[in-house]
């Protein structure tokens, strides 16, 4: 289905805002850029900026997070026979965000900006954990458990915290794998 003119214009404005924010954040640093400067750079009013991005400047370089929740759920549902839920989630996360090694330069700059900026990392975390209930439902359905089961909810939440927890480490992929190893084996008991 083709998108209408209005939807295309909205998408173009949203993209112009995102591009302006990324450019200014890269040139001046996140904390030195105002919403007014971003609106001016994108040639829109401040009111238009907030109409497109009501959450403020943190949200300018992110989508709404819905797509990541869809592909995480798909990774669990569409995993190969015999592959565990955790392995499917590990493989899915390994190719995204701070864990992806082969990002194009523009996406790498965006990732590095997010990882190095506390406000952007926190906003990213908020987007990730917003999908906890949906991921818990998917994990529950795939494992024959109730979505309200605390262990299912905890697992979903732990997995969604991994990008924030491991993403800023010197070797994010190794840190992510260490967390998944712990989730798969459990905390060792001491003797």
User: For residue range 66-95, what is the model confidence (pLDDT) as tens digits?
Assistant: 788 899 999 999 999 999 999 999 999 998
Strand residues in the chain grouped as ranges (E): none
Give the SS3 label for residue 25. Answer: helix
Task: Please check the confidence at residue 182 and state whether its pLDDT lies above 90.
Answer: yes
Least confident of 58-72, 112-126, 172-186: 58-72
pLDDT for 1 = 57
Q: Distance of alpha carbon 98 from its chain centroid, rounded?
A: 10
Token pair 């491991």: residue: 166
Query: What are the structure tokens assigned to 142, written together?
Result: 């795939």
pLDDT for 123 = 92
The pLDDT-based confidence of 106 (bands split at 50, 70, 90) is confident
Query: What are the structure tokens assigned to 54, written together?
Result: 């009501």
Give the whole-angstrom CA distance, residue 84 versus residue 142. Answer: 10
pTM score: 0.85
Distances (CA, A) of 168 to 6, 112, 116, 158, 172: 39, 9, 7, 16, 6
């Amino acid at each position: 289905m083709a998108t209408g003119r209005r939807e295309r214009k909205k998408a173009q404005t949203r993209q112009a805002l995102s591009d302006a924010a990324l450019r200014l954040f890269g040139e001046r640093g996140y904390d030195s850029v105002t919403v007014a400067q971003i609106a001016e750079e994108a040639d829109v009013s401040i009111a238009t900026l907030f109409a497109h991005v009501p959450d403020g400047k943190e949200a300018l370089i992110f989508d709404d997070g819905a797509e990541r929740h869809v592909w995480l759920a798909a990774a669990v549902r569409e995993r190969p026979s015999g592959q565990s839920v955790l392995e499917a989630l590990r493989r899915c996360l390994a190719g995204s965000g701070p864990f992806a090694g082969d990002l194009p330069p523009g996406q790498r700059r965006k990732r590095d900006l997010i990882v190095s900026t506390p406000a952007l990392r926190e906003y990213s975390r908020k987007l990730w954990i917003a999908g906890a209930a949906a991921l818990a439902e998917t994990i529950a359905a795939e494992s024959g458990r109730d979505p309200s089961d605390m262990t299912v909810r905890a697992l979903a939440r732990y997995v969604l915290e991994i990008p924030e927890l491991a993403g800023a480490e010197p070797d994010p992929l190794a840190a992510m794998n260490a967390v998944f190893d712990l989730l798969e084996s459990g905390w060792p008991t001491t003797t």
